[in-house]
Structure 1
Amino acid sequence: MSILKIFSPRYLFLLSLQIVLVGSVVAQAPASPSPSRILVRAGKLLDVRTGAEASGKTIVVTGDKVTAIADTSATPAAASDAVIDLTKYTVMPGLIDVHTHLTGANNFDPFFELTMTPGKEAIIGVENAKVTVEAGFTTVRNVGAGGFTDVALRDEINEGHIPGPHMQVSGPALGITGGHMDENLLPSQYHVVGEGVADGIPAVQHMVRQNIKYGADLIKIGASGGVLSKGDDPQASQYTEEEMRAIVADAHRLGRKVAAHAHGAQAILWATNAGVDSIEHGSYLDDAGIAAMKAHGTYLVPTAYLIDWMQQYGKLPVFYQQKMKDVSAVEKQNAIRAIKAGVKIALGTDAAVYPHGLNAHEIDVYVNQFGMTPLQGIQTGTINAADLMGWSDKVGELTPGHWADVIAVEGDPLKDVKVLQDVKFVMVGGKVEKVPGAK
């Protein structure tokens, strides 16, 4: 066939007609029907409020929500239903981690840190979101990320473009000049400043509003020095109480909660009195801080397993090592004191300080080192975490109206919480992300 014939008007007309006819047939062909309901048949169904483990129950999922929980014998499958058989497993709500850094990697080589870009962070976040959700953590609070990469990650997950947990995100964490949230690795001639650095009440108010403008669901602040930052002291307060009061006032007025990185006793007390919603780490927590946290209803997020992981596997630059050793020597005992005193605890890991996907080891620490019952440990990562996030109507338990976030494990987590470290099945918002046998 000559090239002239291919492009003749008659040929092009016939070709166009064929395309239209084929398109019409395709459009008229019935699409594969999606199931009207998903019926999740549970072996045991764990009620994370009471500890009851009911047998023979079915979770009815419609769209992204749980619409009913009923006896399996009274819930026959209709022709349009999909059925998921988890009768060999204990089924429970997806877990929640309120202190993650999904766009961060477990690498503290200064060269790696200084060569990080928003593009790299975003790619790292895609990988870690998948790892985290497959570990059974279907909701996270991401407390600190560069370039608002956590905002982009959250949005892409919400659009269904990539797998991952439900996310609340903070964007860049706020901190003082030269503090834990600043960039302190380069000398003065480079004049590098951390994205969230703001000093003084007008500046911190502006930064809160800017973070919210660009998509932050919560505000993260540095109330004290940190461990993985050069040149500062974890025991030294950074933001003043007045600055933190201004941050909290703006954040709460605009519908956002505030998480305060705070190791030192004074920073914990000031941040609590300023009205923050959670104290992250709390290493040097003392009696005054405990009393204030109880009075204000402030949550403690212990991030405790990272101590065990660091002691066994950690390889840190010299200028971080002593700080990590000092904090590790006191943090767990002070967390135990807070728990015994009745301070509210929510599960947070600081994942990225150690590899993502090991999040459930935190519950093991709470139970087998801090003295919680297995149910109490599980509650830190379900109903307590949901309460801290302000999402008690969405996540944290399996009940009609909540998102269909479901996990399944072999064995009984009320007898051995270590089974939560090997989740077999994961559903997030009615979408299956992991099935038994998947690696």
Structure 2
Amino acid sequence: MKKLTLILFTIMFAASLFAQRTIIYAGTLIDGVSKKPVAERSIIVVGKKIVSIENGYISAKEEDNIIDLKNHSVMPGWIDMHVHIEGETSPDRYIRVFTDNPADKAFASVDIAKRTLMAGFTTVRDVGGSGVNVSLRDAINKGTIDGPRIFTSEKGLSITGGHGDPTNGFRDDLMGDPGPESGVVNGVDDAKKAVRQRYKNGADLIKITATGGVLSVAKDGQGAHFQEEEIKAIVDAANDLGFHVAAHAHGDEGMRRAVANGVKTIEHGTYMSDATMDLMIQKDAYLVPTITAGMEVAENAKKPGYYPKVVAEKARVIGPKIQGTFARAYKRGVPIAFGTDAGVFKHGENAREFTYMVEAGMPEIEAIICATSNNAELLGMGEQIGTIKAGFIADIVAVPGNPLEDIEVMKDVKFVMKEGKIYKN
């Protein structure tokens, strides 16, 4: 067995010697882990992997592919932990529920996926859609279309009438009584079945709506929407299948119940109390702030007719508060994961979140680490992505200038590589 392993290693090493190298000359290297960038490095990529990082700008062979980024900051591809990649905001969004077929969503998502990748986001966590997100993930993995690596929850889980109930706002004869297959949970048995249905449908994680929400056509945007035993049943069933659980939550009681019963990430966290923040620190649960979404819905609520009246009223109140909650949580020591809620605003503008995080008091380098190695660890990919290091997958992006002096440059991505393939240069 040892002899066979040695032979295979020798073959792989020999193949790497003859494979074409891509050499990236990085003026500034931010590796995704260290808080201090380094200058003038050469990143050597062979196939899908980073094989080494060398000091200075190494001499190239004739057959090498050289990428000159000497005037750029180079870093790992970014990871957005909260997107909805099947669609995006528009004034006719609520009508399109009745007019769009799954194929319409699928075709729209192809462009969305490419925009996301071109914006520097090589990995995303999609936290709730119709199921098209599973097929989109698979198509990207096969190389059929261009897009980020996707981890998806498929459909989110909600109570009847909750933020994720797919028939909220419908007239009586269309409302029906959706159940676990549609992601609607009432009771412990429903909770277990809904999780297992997501597993059957191809999900990578579980998302629940632990409180009311802003954009659903329902009056309540804050109340707790699951009993504790239901959340525990969801988390237990998810853990059995190797899933973590994310919880949409604006109201404090709903997020407290979620964290106390093992939910790993709280999305939004608008009205989070100090006590719940302390519980998150104790439980090593993460806040995914989605500040950009809060800013966007507050602005859209000012536009006559953009949202239904019940939605606009919630958006005006809840949206502006998210950045302030993030500032408090960061200062208190709550673990933070980078996530934007892209889809609530236009996909491809995800890097706006960096600016809002820095405005609220997080140093630039910490915001970058949140979006790279930190998020990779949360996804169970900490030894494969999120860091520029030998042996890691070559997900690499570059921006002009120095984002540690001007975070706005994160919106101006000049180079994107995913798994060793150059998509933008």
Please confirm whether the aligned pair reaches a TM-score higher than 0.5, indicating the same fold: yes
1:215-226 to 2 correspondences below 5 Å: 215-226=202-213
Structure 2: distance between partners of 1:80 and 1:153: 35
Alignment correspondent of 1:88: 71
Return the match for 2:329 from 338, 346, 349. 338
1:37-436 pair list within 5 angstroms: 37-73=21-57, 75-107=58-90, 109=92, 110-146=94-130, 148-182=131-165, 183-192=167-176, 193=178, 195-314=182-301, 315-368=306-359, 370-435=360-425
- CA distance in structure 1 between the partners assigned to 2:210 and 2:39 by the alignment: 47
Alpha-carbon distance in 2 for matches of 1:174, 1:313: 26
Residues 223 and 261 of structure 1 are in contact (CA less than 8 Å); yes or no, is this contact kept in structure 2? Answer: yes
Q: Which amino acid is the alignment partner of residue 325 of structure 1?
A: R
- Residue 329 of structure 1: how far off its partner (Å): 4.3
Q: What do the CA deviations read for 1:20-48 (whole angstroms, capped 9, x no partner)?
A: xxxxxxxxxxxxxx952211111111133
**CA shift in 2, pair 1:78/1:329, >3 Å:** closer
Distance 1:130 1:92 in 2: 20
Amino acid at match of 2:25: R
Q: Structure 1 54/287 Cα, relative in aligned 2: closer, same or farther at 3 Å?
A: closer
Identity percentage of aligned residues = 41
TM-score (norm 2): 0.90
More divergent stretch after superposition (37-46 vs 104-113): 104-113
Confirm or deny: 8 A CA contact 1:143 1:170 kept in the other structure.
Answer: yes
Structure 2 letter corresponding to 1:295? Q
Cα drift, residue 108 of structure 1: 5.0
Looking at structure 2, the residues matched to 161 and 291 of structure 1 have their Cα atoms a distance apart, in angstroms, of: 45
Query: Where does structure 2 lack aligned partners over 5 or more consecutive residues?
Result: 1-17
Please list the CA deviations of residues 181-231 of structure 1 after superposition, one character each: whole Å capped at 9, or x if unmatched: 112121221234372112111111111111111211100111111111112
Structure 1 counterpart SS, 2:231: helix
Write the distance in 2 (CA, Å) between the matches of 1:203 and 1:309: 34
Instruction: Quote how far apart the aligned CAs of 1:163 are.
Output: 0.7
TM-score (normalizing by structure 1): 0.88
Any conservation in 2 of the 1:44–1:56 contact (CA below 8 Å)?
yes
> 1:339 offset after TM fit, Å?
1.0
Provide the residue aligned with 2:13 in structure 1. Answer: none
- How far apart, CA to CA, are the structure 1 residues paired with 2:323 and 2:67? 41
Alignment partner, residue 27 of structure 1: none
Equivalent pair of 2:298/2:315 in contact (CA under 8 Å): no
| Alignment CA distance shift 1:114-1:185 (3 Å) | farther
Amino acid at match of 1:83: I
How far apart, in 2, do the equivalents of 1:308 and 1:234 lie? 16
Q: Closer, same or farther in 2 for the Cα pair 1:348/1:96, shift >3 Å?
A: same
CA distance in 2, matches of 1:159, 1:83: 27
Distance 1:69 1:296, change over 3 A: same
Contact 1:35 1:80 (C-alpha < 8 Å) held by counterparts: no
- The answer to whether the Cα contact below 8 Å between 2:168 and 2:175 also exists between their aligned partners in 1 is no
CA shift digits 1:112-170 (9 cap, x unpaired): 23323211221121111100110011110000010x21111111111111111111011
Q: What's the secondary structure of 1:381's corresponding residue?
A: helix
Question: Matched residues in 2 for 1:295 and 1:77: separation?
Answer: 50
Distance 2:351 2:192 in 1: 36
Give aligned pairs, total: 399
Structure ID, larger Rg: 1
Q: Which residue of 2 aligns with 1:19?
A: none
Secondary structure in structure 2 of the residue aligned to 1:221:
strand
Query: Cα distance, 1:411 vs. partner?
Result: 0.7
* 1:42 and 1:89 in contact (8 A); partners too: yes
Q: Structure 1: which 5+ residue stretches go unaligned? A: 1-33
Deviations 1:227-247 (A, max 9, x none): 111124121111111101111
Deviation at 1:54, TM superposition (A): 2.1
